[in-house]
Amino acid sequence: MKKEKQKFLTIDKNFKLQIILSASALMHLTFMVMFSIMQAYLMMVFNVFSVVLYIAGAIDCIRETVEKHKYFWIIATFSEIVLHAIFCTVILGLETFFILYLILTIPVAGYSLFFYVDRAQFKKITKAFSVATSAALVFCVVFGNIWGSLYEIFDVPNLTASGMCAVRSVNIAFSAATLFGFTFLFYTEIISLIEELNESNRRLEYIATHDELTGLSNRHSLWKYFDGLIKSGDHYCIVMGDIDDFKKINDTYGHECGDRVLKSVACIILNNTENSEMACRWGGEEMLLIMRGEKAECISRVEQIRRQICSLDIKDNGRSVKSSMTFGVADCDEPEKRLSENESAQNSHVSIDRMISLADKKLYIGKNSGKNVIIS
């Protein structure tokens, strides 16, 4: 059975972090300009440091040295978000909605931790961040409800109504964009992990059901295939093939050359079987084919395989290595092996065993009558 490997798209984690840090720098640059226009210079200066921090982090990602400083950048990013939210809330008040960024710290920090730390560290740091965020939230809410803001405490003119509306709008927009952005990132990450898991399962299934050297199916996958074949009711033939004088090839040219012969023969067999059929490495140099169709048609196709194998010209240190193969063909309609519709699955397997045994006997009749023939 032929399988195609499916690929899935993954984006480098450092590039993802670079995008996040660059977006954060752009966000704080917006704050810096906004506070400059509003003449809130203390908060403008804070955002200058924030912009510098995030740009430095993005540069570290570009240089691919961020892994060395991963804990610094994760803690620095978390601390900046928390301190900025507290700082702006305490100075301007709860009405500005800077407190929203505290709620976003856990998904932002959690996403970064997911990529860069192991499971044990992830749990410890996430717990610490959760406690710190909760404490910051409680502080901001209590401070805002009791004292309002530092502007109110020191009787400093606060933002105008239009300025307050602008700040609120910007914070709501940035919070929504961050929430949707990280929701999308989590979603794509989950999809990527599911695809990776599915690909791993496909590889494991392929390894469990295929011969590593030749790429042919192995015996483990045979009975499952037969169950489906019997249920389909299709006419089929079982073909047993054996490479002639394979031991002599190994002894004369070496096992590496013998492996090349096996691979070449397997390739010819695979190229001459349909997706709905099976080619199996039965053991050593023996191969079993299950072909769908009438006996005459199957024999014709086996003859084509036999001729192509005879035409193989494998070179080994300048020497030409010739190959041939003998085949035995058993038809499902042979009277003594005919399958009854009322047979149980177990009895069907017994009948299949008998067909395989019959094909094997015909194969060895061919071996004893000159080789490189098809016995049907």
Burial bucket for residue 372 (CB in 10 Å: 0-12, 13-18, 19+): middle
Domain presence at residue 211: no
| Phi–psi pair at 121, nearest 5 degrees | -65, -35
Measured between its terminal Cα atoms, the distance across the chain in Å is 24
Q: Does 349 lie in the same domain as 305? A: yes
Structural domains in the chain (count): 2
Q: What percent of the chain has pLDDT over 70?
A: 93
Which residues, including other chains, have CB under 8 Å from residue 77's CB and lie 6 or more apart?
21, 24, 53, 54, 57, 108, 109, 112
Mean pLDDT of the chain: 87
Q: Do both 35 and 183 map to the same domain?
A: yes
Torsion of CA 28, 31, 32, 34, to 10 degrees: 160
Same-domain status, 163 and 246: no
70 falls within a domain: yes
* Within-domain flag for 346: yes
140, 181: one domain: yes
What is the three-class DSSP state of 286? Answer: strand
Question: Could you list the residue range(s) of the whole structural domain that residue 244 is in?
Answer: 219-375
For 132, residues 6+ apart whose C-beta sits below 8 A from its C-beta are 78, 82
**Shared domain check, 224 and 194:** no
- Cβ 238 vs Cβ 289: under 8 Å: yes
User: Is 328 strand, coil or helix?
Assistant: strand
Structure confidence at residue 1 (pLDDT): 41
State residue 337's pLDDT score: 44
Residue 250 pLDDT grade (very low, low, confident, very high; cuts 50, 70, 90): very high
Q: Does 3 map to a domain? A: no
**DSSP states of 104-150:** HHHHHHHHHHHHHS-HHHHHHHHHHHHHHHHHHHHHHHHHHHHT--H
CATH of the domain at 359: 3.30.70.270
Look at residue 152 and tell me if it is in a domain.
yes
Closest by CA to 354, choosing from 372, 374, 373, 330, is 330
Q: What is the pLDDT of residues 293-352, one digit of tens each?
A: 999 999 999 999 999 999 998 988 888 899 999 999 999 876 444 444 444 444 455 678
- 201 and 224 belong to one structural domain: no
**Same structural domain for residues 191 and 267?**
no
Q: What pLDDT does 237 receive?
A: 93
What pLDDT digit, counting tens, does each position of 46-62 carry? 999 999 999 999 999 99
Q: Are strands 319-321 and 374-375 parallel, antiparallel or unpaired?
A: unpaired
131 is a domain residue? yes
Are residues 247 and 177 both part of a single domain? Answer: no
Q: For residue 93, which amino acid is it?
A: G
> Are 76 and 191 found together in one domain?
yes
Q: Which of 206, 231, 259 is the last residue of a domain?
A: 206
Which stretches within the chain are classed as H helix? 13-37, 41-62, 70-92, 100-116, 119-146, 150-153, 161-209, 222-232, 246-253, 255-271, 295-310, 345-367
**Is residue 39 one of the residues assigned to a domain?**
yes
| 224 & 366 share domain | yes
Q: Report CA-CA distances (Å) from 268 to 218, 253, 277, 325, 327.
A: 17, 21, 14, 12, 14
Note whether residue 6 is domain-resident: no
What is the value of pTM for the model shown? Answer: 0.64
Determine the Cα–Cα distance for residues 374 and 376; give it in Å rounded to an integer. Answer: 6
Q: Is 6 strand, coil or helix?
A: coil
Where a domain ends, among 206, 239, 260?
Answer: 206
Q: Which domain-ending residue is among 176, 206, 236?
A: 206
